[in-house]
Structure 1
Amino acid sequence: MKRWPLRIKLTIAYVVLTAVTGAIMLGLILLMAQPVTPVGTGSSVPYSSSAVPAPDRPVTAPADPGEPELVDVSGTVTYSSVLGNGVVALVVVMAVAAVLGWLTARRALLPIRSITSAAQRAADQELSTRICLSGPKDEIKELADAFDHMLARLERSFVSQRRFLANAAHELKTPVATQQAVTEVAMTRPDAGTGTIELGRKILASLDHQQRVLTGLFALAQNAETIEGRDTVNLADLTDGILHERIARNDEQIEPTSELDVAKVRGDAALLEQLIRNLIDNAFVHNAPGGWVSVRTVGTPTESVLEIANGGTHIDTTRSDQLFEPFKRSCFNRADPPPGSGLGLSVVRAISEAHGGSVTAQPRDEGGLVVRVRLPAA
């Protein structure tokens, strides 16, 4: 059933109230306009016997033929004129009430529009928005003040989380840099063999990746709404490389399949790589032994989609949204949960939203999960 806007409802209420009040007043006017002829009053006209035709039989003349007889005609006034004029006046008043009610409702709902606009801006991560509604201390003013208080608390909470993330990313840079230096020294030692040098190269590549991820997370914490320094990135290329790396250490004996079409986006390559890596790792780890993983990328003129599906245990559909919360996992009731920090999907959501996209998780009827990341196309 379609619900009418509040402005229309208020206008209808004004018109109905005016119509009821006008109808009551018109009824009272008609009631008071009933014909009542007090004694000795009324409009009278003289009676003339010459106006009456002569009868066929004799009649008795009035006792005093010199006095004219008076006849009362005040009862000939009817309600038709009063009723007609009253109905016309009532219709006019209802039309005026509709116009005035529409304007009054518009003015009365202006504070509500301010609250709605502030809520929409807050939904777009503009938590510094405040309504600051002025005027008398009525119910709407109390609602606006409560909303401002809520936004202030949310802003403090988000600022605290961003500061923590920035500090953590900054502090982690130091041990990563130390590990890089130690690895480089070990590789340049005179007694370093071929195996040591090859291992050092792999360690340096991994540390370089960690360094880029930390840099991206630090930038994300500093400016969570947008990603600066965006590059054109093909999700298919990133996904193909990460998938081959994961297949090389496929200890779970998972059977992967891929269908990678060109899907270009604008964003931070290191963060997008981390997003894909988290999703692929989750698909391999949270799976049944000897299970399967399907990876797809699809590009359209408006958006690029990354879809990763896997088999595994059944997941309650009512808990699918909880998977994106920190430290929440799909194995809610397992005594031996697979390894992991429980932050993978929460990081995926943060990165996708920072790129102007979204991520959804849909449990499969046969068990497992389908995760779709949608990002604006480049």
Structure 2
Amino acid sequence: MDRPPGLSVRLKLTLSYAGFLMLAGAVLLAAGYFSLSRGAHPGVIFLVRSHADLLRNFAPTAAAVLLFLLVFGLLGGWFLAGRMLAPLTRITDATRTAATGSLAHRIGLPGRRDEFRELADAFDAMLARLEAHVAEQQRFAANASHELRTPLAITQTLLDVARSDPTRVNGELDDRLRAVNTRAIDLTEALLMLSRADRRSFLTEPVDLSLVAEEAAETLLPLAEERGVTIETSGDLTSTLGSPALLLQMATNLLHNAIVHNLPERGTVRVTSGMQADGMALTVENTGEPLSPHLVATLTEPFQRGSKRARTDHAGIGLGLAIVRSIAEAHDGTLTLTPRPTGGLCVTVRLPASPQRTDPVRT
């Protein structure tokens, strides 16, 4: 915004200090004058014959005192205002540096806590979050570009091969193109789901997490039977306020991830829901290979599938847990991943409990 120039804060503070000092001096001089004019002061040095004589003798002294207070107030106020506003200057410089795109700069204001230091610390914390967010978005954009480029490159290769080999069976080419196109569609829908959760553009209503978990289990039961995985569900009524579609997608992603990344045979997935001290919780545990805490800490990153997790036809596109985290955060919840001592993963989503209500609410 283009604003007209005005007085600096330092000059305003200086004039305020000087004006206040002049006003205080004028009040004291006026009080002294009236005291002398009534002869109430025991140490009067002026010969008071009339008010005119008193004013003639008192005025030069009063003028000298006011002049001294004016000069002292301006100089002292300018110095004090500069000292008080020095931290603000550092904050302004840091803000201008951040406006140019450099988010690595920090104010680092020393000294004990006061209003300026709290402002500087809050600004440093904001810069740290922005820097981390920008870095995450850059990684996400690079990974998304790579993931989207892969099916397009495969499609182009298949078409080139088909053009150069007229005898190639079109049915085989059609099947492979359909598979690649399906993967590209799934990736695009997952990106749209992730964007929708991050924007929090959805209606909310009471949702029972136990019913959501059962619906997700029924949907993925054929996949679990195909891979020899047993799904066990249990839980009580756990009502939270949220989007039924997004919460169902969250539960589906958790169960799909637990089924796919499981033991080659006789694997187990346990789904429990219930009330805890801090709200409602949905927990999904699965058997599998041992996972290190370092690897588990990276699984919520977009397109992270885990270096030791098998890549199969159902391995997904690497956005499952990233979408779960975004949906949980969009519902003011948390996502916790813990490696199981015997192998596999324990994933817990904690959401705030909500009173029963029937009217949808826009978030």
TM-score by length of 1: 0.45
Q: Determine which structure has more spread, i.e. the larger CA radius of gyration.
A: 1
Greater length-normalized contact order (CA 8 Å, ≥ 6 residues apart) = 2
